[in-house]
Amino acid sequence: MTRLFCLPLLIVLCFGSLTAAAEKPMNVLFIISDDLTPTALSCYGNTDSKTPNIDRLAAQGTRFTHAYCNATYCGPSRASFLSGYYPHATKVFGYVSPRPKIGDRPTWPQYFRDNGYYTARVSKIYHMGVPGGIEEGSDGADDPLSWDERFNSPGPEWKAPGDGETLEGNPDGKRPVVGGNTFVVVEADGDDLVHSDGKTAAKAVELIEQHAQDDQPFFLAVGFVRPHVPFVSPRKYVDAYKPYSKNALPEKVPGDWDDIPKQGINYKTSKNMKMDLRRQKKAIGGYYGAVAFLDAQVGKVLDALEASGEADNTIVIFTSDHGFHLGQHDFWAKVSLHEESACVPLIIKVPGQAPAVCDSLTQLLDLYPTTAALCGLKPQDRLQGKDISPLLSNPKEIVHDEILNVSPMQNGFLLRTADWAFIQYNEDASGGVELFDMHKDPQQFTNLASDPDYADLVDDFKARLADKLQELRTNDLGS
Ligand SMILES: [Ca+2]
Protein backbone atom coordinates (compact mmCIF):
# COMPACT_ATOMS: atom_id res chain seq x y z
CA MET A 1 0.00 0.00 0.00
CA THR A 2 2.75 2.39 0.96
CA ARG A 3 4.59 1.83 -2.30
CA LEU A 4 1.45 2.24 -4.37
CA PHE A 5 0.67 5.45 -2.56
CA CYS A 6 4.18 6.85 -2.85
CA LEU A 7 4.82 6.14 -6.52
CA PRO A 8 2.27 8.60 -7.93
CA LEU A 9 3.44 11.17 -5.42
CA LEU A 10 7.02 10.67 -6.59
CA ILE A 11 5.92 11.03 -10.22
CA VAL A 12 4.08 14.22 -9.38
CA LEU A 13 7.10 15.58 -7.55
CA CYS A 14 9.42 14.66 -10.42
CA PHE A 15 7.21 16.16 -13.11
CA GLY A 16 6.55 19.15 -10.88
CA SER A 17 10.24 19.90 -10.60
CA LEU A 18 10.85 19.24 -14.30
CA THR A 19 8.07 21.65 -15.20
CA ALA A 20 9.43 24.26 -12.81
CA ALA A 21 12.89 23.95 -14.35
CA ALA A 22 11.48 24.32 -17.86
CA GLU A 23 9.27 27.27 -16.96
CA LYS A 24 11.67 30.13 -16.57
CA PRO A 25 9.59 33.24 -15.90
CA MET A 26 9.05 35.47 -18.92
CA ASN A 27 11.59 38.21 -19.59
CA VAL A 28 10.49 41.80 -20.15
CA LEU A 29 12.03 43.91 -22.90
CA PHE A 30 10.74 47.46 -22.52
CA ILE A 31 11.64 49.84 -25.35
CA ILE A 32 10.70 53.49 -24.96
CA SER A 33 11.13 56.31 -27.41
CA ASP A 34 11.15 59.99 -26.46
CA ASP A 35 8.54 62.43 -27.80
CA LEU A 36 7.15 59.99 -30.39
CA THR A 37 3.61 60.60 -31.60
CA PRO A 38 1.81 57.52 -32.91
CA THR A 39 0.73 59.59 -35.92
CA ALA A 40 4.34 59.44 -37.23
CA LEU A 41 4.36 55.62 -37.51
CA SER A 42 3.34 53.73 -40.61
CA CYS A 43 1.63 51.04 -38.50
CA TYR A 44 -0.61 53.83 -37.13
CA GLY A 45 -1.58 54.94 -40.63
CA ASN A 46 1.06 57.47 -41.66
CA THR A 47 1.72 56.91 -45.37
CA ASP A 48 4.71 59.30 -45.61
CA SER A 49 6.79 58.09 -42.67
CA LYS A 50 8.18 54.56 -42.95
CA THR A 51 8.79 52.51 -39.80
CA PRO A 52 9.23 48.87 -40.92
CA ASN A 53 10.73 47.57 -37.68
CA ILE A 54 8.13 48.99 -35.33
CA ASP A 55 5.51 47.82 -37.85
CA ARG A 56 6.97 44.31 -37.65
CA LEU A 57 6.53 44.27 -33.87
CA ALA A 58 3.00 45.65 -34.27
CA ALA A 59 2.16 42.81 -36.67
CA GLN A 60 3.29 40.27 -34.06
CA GLY A 61 1.70 41.83 -30.98
CA THR A 62 -1.27 43.92 -29.87
CA ARG A 63 -1.25 47.48 -31.18
CA PHE A 64 -3.25 49.86 -28.99
CA THR A 65 -4.91 52.71 -30.88
CA HIS A 66 -6.11 54.58 -27.78
CA ALA A 67 -3.15 54.51 -25.42
CA TYR A 68 -2.41 57.65 -23.39
CA CYS A 69 0.41 58.91 -21.25
CA ASN A 70 -0.58 60.24 -17.81
CA ALA A 71 1.35 63.50 -18.22
CA THR A 72 2.26 65.17 -21.48
CA TYR A 73 5.98 65.75 -21.00
CA CYS A 74 9.00 63.68 -19.98
CA GLY A 75 9.54 64.32 -16.27
CA PRO A 76 6.10 63.66 -14.76
CA SER A 77 5.15 61.03 -17.36
CA ARG A 78 8.15 58.85 -16.63
CA ALA A 79 8.00 59.38 -12.86
CA SER A 80 4.35 58.31 -13.00
CA PHE A 81 4.50 55.03 -14.90
CA LEU A 82 7.78 53.99 -13.23
CA SER A 83 6.43 54.64 -9.72
CA GLY A 84 2.91 53.40 -10.37
CA TYR A 85 1.17 56.61 -9.24
CA TYR A 86 -0.55 59.50 -10.99
CA PRO A 87 1.39 62.79 -10.98
CA HIS A 88 -1.21 64.32 -8.65
CA ALA A 89 -0.67 61.48 -6.16
CA THR A 90 3.10 61.96 -5.88
CA LYS A 91 3.08 65.67 -6.82
CA VAL A 92 6.03 64.94 -9.10
CA PHE A 93 5.39 67.51 -11.83
CA GLY A 94 8.97 68.35 -12.72
CA TYR A 95 12.14 66.64 -13.88
CA VAL A 96 13.01 64.68 -10.76
CA SER A 97 13.04 61.13 -9.44
CA PRO A 98 9.81 59.94 -7.78
CA ARG A 99 11.88 58.19 -5.06
CA PRO A 100 11.57 60.81 -2.28
CA LYS A 101 7.78 60.65 -2.66
CA ILE A 102 7.41 56.85 -2.64
CA GLY A 103 9.91 55.92 0.09
CA ASP A 104 10.86 52.25 -0.11
CA ARG A 105 7.88 51.21 -2.21
CA PRO A 106 9.26 49.38 -5.24
CA THR A 107 9.23 51.06 -8.62
CA TRP A 108 8.21 49.02 -11.67
CA PRO A 109 11.69 47.66 -12.51
CA GLN A 110 12.58 47.37 -8.83
CA TYR A 111 9.58 45.10 -8.24
CA PHE A 112 10.96 42.73 -10.85
CA ARG A 113 14.41 43.01 -9.29
CA ASP A 114 12.93 42.19 -5.86
CA ASN A 115 11.33 39.14 -7.46
CA GLY A 116 14.54 37.64 -8.78
CA TYR A 117 14.95 39.38 -12.10
CA TYR A 118 18.16 40.86 -13.45
CA THR A 119 17.18 44.47 -14.22
CA ALA A 120 19.11 46.92 -16.35
CA ARG A 121 18.50 50.15 -18.15
CA VAL A 122 20.26 51.52 -21.19
CA SER A 123 20.08 55.32 -21.52
CA LYS A 124 16.94 57.35 -20.78
CA ILE A 125 14.26 55.57 -18.74
CA TYR A 126 13.75 57.97 -15.84
CA HIS A 127 14.01 61.56 -16.98
CA MET A 128 17.22 62.78 -18.59
CA GLY A 129 17.69 66.18 -20.19
CA VAL A 130 17.83 65.99 -23.97
CA PRO A 131 20.13 67.11 -25.45
CA GLY A 132 22.11 68.48 -22.44
CA GLY A 133 22.15 65.34 -20.26
CA ILE A 134 22.93 63.15 -23.27
CA GLU A 135 25.87 65.35 -24.27
CA GLU A 136 27.20 65.00 -20.68
CA GLY A 137 26.38 61.28 -20.36
CA SER A 138 24.84 62.00 -16.94
CA ASP A 139 22.30 59.87 -15.02
CA GLY A 140 19.55 62.50 -14.98
CA ALA A 141 16.71 61.72 -12.54
CA ASP A 142 17.61 58.03 -12.40
CA ASP A 143 16.73 55.70 -9.52
CA PRO A 144 19.69 53.43 -8.66
CA LEU A 145 17.51 51.02 -6.62
CA SER A 146 15.63 50.09 -9.79
CA TRP A 147 18.60 48.46 -11.51
CA ASP A 148 21.33 45.89 -11.19
CA GLU A 149 23.20 47.65 -13.97
CA ARG A 150 22.73 50.92 -15.82
CA PHE A 151 24.39 52.33 -18.88
CA ASN A 152 24.38 55.83 -20.32
CA SER A 153 24.84 56.55 -24.01
CA PRO A 154 26.52 59.92 -24.44
CA GLY A 155 26.31 61.45 -27.89
CA PRO A 156 27.15 64.68 -29.71
CA GLU A 157 23.49 65.60 -30.31
CA TRP A 158 23.29 69.00 -32.08
CA LYS A 159 27.09 69.22 -32.23
CA ALA A 160 27.27 66.17 -34.54
CA PRO A 161 29.22 67.01 -37.71
CA GLY A 162 26.95 67.49 -40.70
CA ASP A 163 24.55 69.99 -42.19
CA GLY A 164 22.47 71.64 -39.53
CA GLU A 165 19.84 74.36 -39.38
CA THR A 166 18.06 75.99 -36.47
CA LEU A 167 14.40 76.28 -37.45
CA GLU A 168 13.05 77.87 -34.29
CA GLY A 169 13.40 81.56 -33.51
CA ASN A 170 15.54 82.06 -36.57
CA PRO A 171 13.50 83.97 -39.18
CA ASP A 172 16.50 85.67 -40.75
CA GLY A 173 18.54 82.45 -40.83
CA LYS A 174 21.48 84.00 -38.98
CA ARG A 175 21.22 81.88 -35.83
CA PRO A 176 23.74 79.02 -35.79
CA VAL A 177 22.87 75.45 -34.81
CA VAL A 178 22.13 75.52 -31.08
CA GLY A 179 21.47 73.12 -28.21
CA GLY A 180 18.64 73.08 -25.68
CA ASN A 181 14.98 72.31 -26.27
CA THR A 182 15.07 73.89 -29.73
CA PHE A 183 13.87 72.75 -33.15
CA VAL A 184 17.10 71.98 -34.99
CA VAL A 185 17.64 69.56 -37.90
CA VAL A 186 21.08 68.01 -38.42
CA GLU A 187 21.80 65.74 -41.38
CA ALA A 188 24.74 64.04 -39.74
CA ASP A 189 27.90 62.60 -41.20
CA GLY A 190 28.91 59.07 -40.21
CA ASP A 191 27.03 56.01 -39.07
CA ASP A 192 24.54 55.10 -36.35
CA LEU A 193 27.22 54.60 -33.69
CA VAL A 194 28.15 58.27 -33.72
CA HIS A 195 24.89 58.93 -31.88
CA SER A 196 23.38 58.13 -28.51
CA ASP A 197 20.64 55.87 -29.92
CA GLY A 198 23.12 53.87 -32.02
CA LYS A 199 25.15 53.22 -28.85
CA THR A 200 21.98 52.36 -26.91
CA ALA A 201 20.97 49.73 -29.47
CA ALA A 202 24.47 48.22 -29.45
CA LYS A 203 24.51 47.98 -25.65
CA ALA A 204 21.01 46.48 -25.58
CA VAL A 205 22.05 43.86 -28.14
CA GLU A 206 25.09 43.02 -26.00
CA LEU A 207 22.98 42.65 -22.84
CA ILE A 208 20.43 40.42 -24.58
CA GLU A 209 23.24 38.18 -25.84
CA GLN A 210 24.82 38.07 -22.36
CA HIS A 211 21.65 37.27 -20.44
CA ALA A 212 19.66 35.10 -22.87
CA GLN A 213 21.10 31.84 -21.62
CA ASP A 214 20.88 32.69 -17.91
CA ASP A 215 18.47 30.88 -15.63
CA GLN A 216 17.63 34.29 -14.20
CA PRO A 217 14.98 36.17 -16.21
CA PHE A 218 15.73 39.73 -17.31
CA PHE A 219 13.88 43.03 -17.25
CA LEU A 220 15.73 45.14 -19.79
CA ALA A 221 14.66 48.76 -20.29
CA VAL A 222 15.98 50.37 -23.46
CA GLY A 223 15.49 54.13 -23.77
CA PHE A 224 15.97 55.92 -27.07
CA VAL A 225 16.12 59.71 -27.17
CA ARG A 226 14.89 60.31 -30.72
CA PRO A 227 12.77 61.78 -32.14
CA HIS A 228 13.14 64.32 -29.28
CA VAL A 229 14.74 67.55 -30.53
CA PRO A 230 17.34 68.15 -31.90
CA PHE A 231 16.34 66.13 -34.98
CA VAL A 232 19.80 64.63 -35.56
CA SER A 233 20.09 61.56 -37.76
CA PRO A 234 22.64 60.02 -40.12
CA ARG A 235 21.96 61.38 -43.58
CA LYS A 236 20.64 58.14 -45.01
CA TYR A 237 17.58 58.27 -42.73
CA VAL A 238 16.66 61.83 -43.66
CA ASP A 239 17.13 61.45 -47.44
CA ALA A 240 13.70 59.85 -47.88
CA TYR A 241 12.07 63.05 -46.57
CA LYS A 242 13.92 65.44 -48.91
CA PRO A 243 13.36 67.76 -50.54
CA TYR A 244 11.71 68.96 -47.35
CA SER A 245 9.17 70.93 -49.37
CA LYS A 246 7.38 67.67 -50.24
CA ASN A 247 6.36 67.00 -46.61
CA ALA A 248 2.65 67.60 -46.08
CA LEU A 249 1.46 69.86 -43.28
CA PRO A 250 -1.68 69.05 -41.32
CA GLU A 251 -4.90 70.78 -42.26
CA LYS A 252 -5.07 74.39 -41.07
CA VAL A 253 -8.47 75.87 -40.23
CA PRO A 254 -9.03 79.65 -40.11
CA GLY A 255 -9.88 80.82 -36.59
CA ASP A 256 -8.74 77.49 -35.10
CA TRP A 257 -7.51 79.20 -31.92
CA ASP A 258 -10.69 81.21 -31.37
CA ASP A 259 -12.36 78.50 -29.25
CA ILE A 260 -9.22 77.24 -27.47
CA PRO A 261 -8.75 78.74 -23.97
CA LYS A 262 -5.58 80.79 -23.60
CA GLN A 263 -4.01 78.16 -21.31
CA GLY A 264 -4.55 75.58 -24.03
CA ILE A 265 -2.53 77.40 -26.69
CA ASN A 266 0.61 75.31 -26.67
CA TYR A 267 3.95 76.68 -25.44
CA LYS A 268 5.42 76.12 -28.89
CA THR A 269 3.48 77.37 -31.93
CA SER A 270 4.36 78.18 -35.54
CA LYS A 271 3.86 81.81 -34.51
CA ASN A 272 6.05 82.08 -31.41
CA MET A 273 8.70 79.82 -32.99
CA LYS A 274 8.66 82.10 -36.03
CA MET A 275 8.56 79.12 -38.40
CA ASP A 276 7.31 79.84 -41.91
CA LEU A 277 5.89 77.08 -44.12
CA ARG A 278 9.34 76.08 -45.40
CA ARG A 279 10.62 75.63 -41.86
CA GLN A 280 7.45 73.80 -40.79
CA LYS A 281 7.87 71.30 -43.62
CA LYS A 282 11.53 70.84 -42.79
CA ALA A 283 10.61 70.26 -39.13
CA ILE A 284 8.31 67.43 -40.23
CA GLY A 285 10.98 65.93 -42.52
CA GLY A 286 13.61 66.20 -39.80
CA TYR A 287 11.26 64.54 -37.30
CA TYR A 288 10.46 61.69 -39.72
CA GLY A 289 14.18 61.22 -40.35
CA ALA A 290 14.76 60.94 -36.59
CA VAL A 291 11.87 58.45 -36.41
CA ALA A 292 13.45 56.38 -39.22
CA PHE A 293 16.75 56.36 -37.33
CA LEU A 294 14.96 55.30 -34.15
CA ASP A 295 13.07 52.59 -36.05
CA ALA A 296 16.32 51.11 -37.37
CA GLN A 297 17.73 50.95 -33.81
CA VAL A 298 14.55 49.24 -32.55
CA GLY A 299 15.04 46.73 -35.38
CA LYS A 300 18.54 45.86 -34.14
CA VAL A 301 17.22 45.14 -30.64
CA LEU A 302 14.33 43.02 -31.95
CA ASP A 303 16.72 41.10 -34.23
CA ALA A 304 19.01 40.37 -31.28
CA LEU A 305 16.08 39.07 -29.23
CA GLU A 306 15.03 36.76 -32.07
CA ALA A 307 18.60 35.53 -32.57
CA SER A 308 18.99 34.89 -28.83
CA GLY A 309 16.33 32.17 -28.77
CA GLU A 310 14.46 34.04 -25.99
CA ALA A 311 11.81 35.74 -28.12
CA ASP A 312 9.31 33.02 -27.25
CA ASN A 313 9.83 33.72 -23.56
CA THR A 314 9.92 37.52 -23.63
CA ILE A 315 7.24 40.19 -23.31
CA VAL A 316 8.16 43.06 -25.63
CA ILE A 317 6.72 46.54 -25.12
CA PHE A 318 7.25 49.53 -27.38
CA THR A 319 5.97 52.98 -26.43
CA SER A 320 6.86 56.64 -25.87
CA ASP A 321 6.66 58.92 -22.82
CA HIS A 322 4.04 61.14 -24.57
CA GLY A 323 3.05 62.27 -28.04
CA PHE A 324 3.99 65.30 -30.12
CA HIS A 325 2.35 67.92 -32.28
CA LEU A 326 3.63 68.25 -35.84
CA GLY A 327 1.76 71.42 -36.75
CA GLN A 328 -1.81 70.43 -35.80
CA HIS A 329 -3.52 73.69 -34.68
CA ASP A 330 -0.12 75.26 -35.51
CA PHE A 331 1.10 73.61 -32.30
CA TRP A 332 4.49 71.91 -32.08
CA ALA A 333 6.01 69.50 -29.58
CA LYS A 334 4.43 68.22 -26.35
CA VAL A 335 2.72 69.63 -23.21
CA SER A 336 -0.63 70.19 -24.98
CA LEU A 337 -3.48 67.86 -23.95
CA HIS A 338 -4.81 67.65 -27.48
CA GLU A 339 -4.83 64.24 -29.05
CA GLU A 340 -1.51 64.12 -30.93
CA SER A 341 0.39 65.09 -27.77
CA ALA A 342 -1.75 63.12 -25.30
CA CYS A 343 -1.64 59.78 -27.18
CA VAL A 344 1.29 57.40 -27.23
CA PRO A 345 2.14 54.50 -29.49
CA LEU A 346 1.78 51.25 -27.54
CA ILE A 347 2.58 47.77 -28.78
CA ILE A 348 2.68 44.79 -26.44
CA LYS A 349 3.81 41.39 -27.66
CA VAL A 350 3.31 38.47 -25.31
CA PRO A 351 4.50 35.00 -26.32
CA GLY A 352 1.72 32.77 -27.56
CA GLN A 353 -0.88 35.46 -28.09
CA ALA A 354 -2.50 36.24 -31.43
CA PRO A 355 -1.68 39.57 -33.10
CA ALA A 356 -4.45 42.14 -32.65
CA VAL A 357 -5.44 45.77 -32.83
CA CYS A 358 -7.14 47.02 -29.66
CA ASP A 359 -9.20 50.23 -29.66
CA SER A 360 -9.96 50.15 -25.92
CA LEU A 361 -8.59 52.88 -23.69
CA THR A 362 -5.32 52.23 -21.93
CA GLN A 363 -2.51 54.24 -20.33
CA LEU A 364 1.16 54.05 -19.41
CA LEU A 365 0.27 53.56 -15.72
CA ASP A 366 -1.09 50.15 -16.71
CA LEU A 367 2.31 48.79 -17.75
CA TYR A 368 3.51 48.05 -14.20
CA PRO A 369 0.47 46.04 -12.99
CA THR A 370 0.05 44.38 -16.40
CA THR A 371 3.59 43.05 -16.73
CA ALA A 372 3.57 42.02 -13.07
CA ALA A 373 0.38 40.02 -13.68
CA LEU A 374 1.70 38.44 -16.88
CA CYS A 375 4.88 37.34 -15.08
CA GLY A 376 2.95 35.93 -12.11
CA LEU A 377 4.12 38.52 -9.57
CA LYS A 378 1.88 39.35 -6.63
CA PRO A 379 -0.65 42.13 -7.36
CA GLN A 380 -0.24 45.36 -5.36
CA ASP A 381 -3.42 47.25 -4.49
CA ARG A 382 -1.50 50.49 -4.07
CA LEU A 383 -0.73 50.76 -7.79
CA GLN A 384 -2.97 53.25 -9.59
CA GLY A 385 -2.93 51.63 -13.04
CA LYS A 386 -4.89 48.54 -14.02
CA ASP A 387 -3.96 45.13 -15.37
CA ILE A 388 -4.86 45.29 -19.06
CA SER A 389 -3.79 41.74 -19.86
CA PRO A 390 -7.47 40.80 -20.55
CA LEU A 391 -7.22 43.08 -23.62
CA LEU A 392 -4.42 40.93 -25.01
CA SER A 393 -6.61 37.83 -25.22
CA ASN A 394 -9.79 39.76 -26.06
CA PRO A 395 -9.19 43.14 -27.72
CA LYS A 396 -12.91 43.98 -27.41
CA GLU A 397 -12.74 43.96 -23.60
CA ILE A 398 -12.98 47.27 -21.79
CA VAL A 399 -10.83 47.91 -18.73
CA HIS A 400 -11.16 51.72 -18.52
CA ASP A 401 -14.20 53.96 -18.97
CA GLU A 402 -11.96 57.00 -18.83
CA ILE A 403 -8.29 57.97 -18.80
CA LEU A 404 -6.88 60.91 -16.86
CA ASN A 405 -3.94 62.69 -18.43
CA VAL A 406 -2.48 65.94 -17.11
CA SER A 407 -0.34 68.85 -18.21
CA PRO A 408 0.97 70.42 -15.00
CA MET A 409 2.76 73.10 -17.06
CA GLN A 410 -0.66 74.28 -18.28
CA ASN A 411 -2.46 73.32 -15.06
CA GLY A 412 -4.54 71.24 -17.46
CA PHE A 413 -6.49 67.99 -17.12
CA LEU A 414 -7.76 65.66 -19.85
CA LEU A 415 -10.52 63.12 -19.27
CA ARG A 416 -10.65 60.90 -22.34
CA THR A 417 -13.53 58.49 -22.80
CA ALA A 418 -14.28 56.32 -25.82
CA ASP A 419 -16.44 59.10 -27.27
CA TRP A 420 -15.22 62.39 -25.79
CA ALA A 421 -12.14 64.42 -24.98
CA PHE A 422 -12.78 66.81 -22.09
CA ILE A 423 -10.00 69.24 -21.22
CA GLN A 424 -10.13 71.57 -18.22
CA TYR A 425 -7.67 74.26 -17.15
CA ASN A 426 -7.28 74.76 -13.36
CA GLU A 427 -9.03 72.56 -10.85
CA ASP A 428 -11.85 75.07 -10.52
CA ALA A 429 -12.11 75.28 -14.33
CA SER A 430 -11.32 79.00 -14.16
CA GLY A 431 -8.93 78.63 -17.11
CA GLY A 432 -11.66 77.33 -19.38
CA VAL A 433 -12.75 73.97 -20.76
CA GLU A 434 -12.78 72.14 -24.09
CA LEU A 435 -15.10 69.35 -25.21
CA PHE A 436 -14.62 67.43 -28.43
CA ASP A 437 -16.77 64.75 -30.06
CA MET A 438 -13.97 62.35 -31.00
CA HIS A 439 -16.07 60.44 -33.52
CA LYS A 440 -17.38 63.43 -35.47
CA ASP A 441 -14.37 65.67 -34.90
CA PRO A 442 -11.20 63.58 -34.37
CA GLN A 443 -9.00 66.54 -35.31
CA GLN A 444 -10.53 68.60 -32.48
CA PHE A 445 -11.49 71.66 -34.49
CA THR A 446 -14.81 72.41 -32.76
CA ASN A 447 -14.87 73.01 -29.01
CA LEU A 448 -18.43 72.19 -27.94
CA ALA A 449 -18.00 73.38 -24.35
CA SER A 450 -19.85 76.66 -24.81
CA ASP A 451 -22.71 75.09 -26.80
CA PRO A 452 -25.79 75.04 -24.52
CA ASP A 453 -26.73 71.60 -25.86
CA TYR A 454 -23.66 70.20 -24.13
CA ALA A 455 -23.88 72.11 -20.84
CA ASP A 456 -25.06 69.05 -18.88
CA LEU A 457 -22.29 66.91 -20.35
CA VAL A 458 -19.68 69.52 -19.44
CA ASP A 459 -21.01 69.63 -15.87
CA ASP A 460 -20.89 65.86 -15.74
CA PHE A 461 -17.26 65.82 -16.87
CA LYS A 462 -16.30 68.49 -14.34
CA ALA A 463 -17.79 66.34 -11.57
CA ARG A 464 -16.09 63.20 -12.90
CA LEU A 465 -12.73 64.99 -12.94
CA ALA A 466 -13.17 66.18 -9.34
CA ASP A 467 -14.08 62.62 -8.28
CA LYS A 468 -11.11 61.17 -10.12
CA LEU A 469 -8.67 63.59 -8.49
CA GLN A 470 -10.12 62.86 -5.07
CA GLU A 471 -9.86 59.12 -5.73
CA LEU A 472 -6.19 59.21 -6.77
CA ARG A 473 -5.28 61.48 -3.85
CA THR A 474 -6.67 58.80 -1.55
CA ASN A 475 -3.62 56.56 -1.55
CA ASP A 476 -0.99 54.95 0.65
CA LEU A 477 1.55 57.76 0.22
CA GLY A 478 0.06 59.95 2.92
CA SER A 479 0.00 62.91 0.56
CA1 LIG B 1 9.79 63.09 -23.75
User: Model confidence at 479, in pLDDT bands (50, 70, 90)?
Assistant: low
pLDDT tens-digit readout, 347-390:
999 999 999 999 999 999 999 999 999 999 999 999 999 999 99
Q: 11 C-alpha vs ligand 1 centroid, how far in Å?
A: 54
* Mean pLDDT in residue range 236-258: 97
Total domains present in the chain: 1
Residue 442 lies in a domain: no
CB-based contacts of 366, cutoff 8 Å, min separation 6:
385, 386, 387, 388, 399
> Given its phi and psi angles, is residue 35 left (phi above 0), alpha (psi -120 to 50 degrees) or beta?
left
The strand order across the sheet containing 162-166 reads 162-166, 184-188, 231-234
Percent of the chain with pLDDT over 90: 94
- Residue 407 included in any domain: no
Alpha helices in 45-163 (DSSP H): 52-60, 74-83, 87-90, 99-102, 108-114, 132-136
Which residues face 435 on adjacent strands?
422
Does 281 map to a domain? Answer: yes
pLDDT at position 246, please?
Answer: 98
Residue 475 vs residue 15, higher pLDDT: 475
Other beta carbons within 10 Å of 479: 11
CA 325 / ligand 1 centre spacing (Å): 12
How many percent of the chain have pLDDT more than 70?
A: 95
pLDDT at 6 over 90: no
If you measure from the C-alpha of residue 204 to the centroid of ligand 1, how many angstroms do you get, rounded to a whole number? 20
Residue 453 CB contacts under 8 Å (≥ 6 apart), including other chains: none
User: In whole angstroms, what is the distance from residue 311 CA to residue 198 CA?
Assistant: 22
Indicate the pLDDT class of residue 5, thresholds 50, 70 and 90.
very low
Model confidence at 10: pLDDT above 90: no
More confident: 24 or 66 = 66
Q: Is residue 7 predicted with pLDDT exceeding 50?
A: no
Is 30 a domain residue?
yes
- Burial class of residue 19, CB neighbours in 10 A (0-12, 13-18, 19+): exposed
CA of 117 to the centre of ligand 1 (A): 27
Instruction: Spell 137-170 as b/e; 16+ CB within 10 A means b.
Output: eeebbbbeebbeebbbbebbbbebebebbbbbeb
Q: Average pLDDT of 156-161? A: 98
Whether residue 203 lies inside any domain: the answer is yes
CA 423 to centroid of ligand 1, rounded, Å: 21
Q: How many angstroms separate the alpha carbon of residue 227 from the centre of ligand 1?
A: 9
- Whether 95 shows a pLDDT value over 50: the answer reads yes
| Average per-residue pLDDT for the chain | 95
pLDDT at 23: 79
pLDDT at 3: 42
- The verdict on residue 304 lying in a domain is yes
Residues 6+ apart with CB under 8 A from 414: 68, 337, 342, 403, 404, 405, 406, 407, 421, 422, 423
DSSP 251: P
Contact between 123 and 224 under an 8 Å Cβ cutoff? The reply is yes
Comparing CA positions, the residue from 58, 282, 328 lying closest to residue 164 is 282
Ligand 1 centroid to Cα of residue 415, in Å, is 21
Q: Looking at this protein, which amino acid is placed at residue 269?
A: T
Q: State the pairing for strand pair 218-227/184-188.
A: unpaired
Distance 71 CA to ligand 1 centre (A): 10
Whole-Å CA distances, 187 to 123, 177, 179, 230, 373: 22, 12, 15, 11, 43
Is 337 inside any structural domain? Answer: yes
Binned at pLDDT 50, 70 and 90, residue 207 comes out as: very high
| pLDDT for the residue numbered 16 | 38
Check if the beta carbon of residue 449 is closer than 8 Å to that of residue 431.
no
Q: Is residue 242 part of a domain?
A: yes
pLDDT digits (tens, 9 = 90+) for 250-279: 999 999 999 999 999 999 999 999 999 999
pLDDT of residue 478: 81
Q: Is the Cβ–Cβ distance between 304 and 208 less than 8 Å?
A: yes
Domain housing 386 = 25-395
More confident residue, 442 or 15: 442
How far from the centroid of its chain's Cα atoms is residue 397's Cα? Answer: 22
Which of 1-10, 82-91, 273-282, 308-317 shows the lowest per-residue confidence on average (mean pLDDT)? 1-10
12-65 residue pLDDT tens: 443 433 444 457 899 999 999 999 999 999 999 999 999 999 999 999 999 999
CA dihedral 105, 109, 111, 113 (to 10 degrees): -120
Q: Give me ligand 1 centre to Cα 145, in Å.
A: 22
Q: State the CATH number of the domain containing residue 298.
A: 3.40.720.10
What is the distance in A from the centroid of ligand 1 to the CA of 76? 10
Cα of 128 vs centre of ligand 1, distance in Å, is 9
Distance 322 CA to ligand 1 centre (A): 6
pLDDT in tens, 396-434: 999 999 999 999 999 999 999 999 999 999 999 999 999
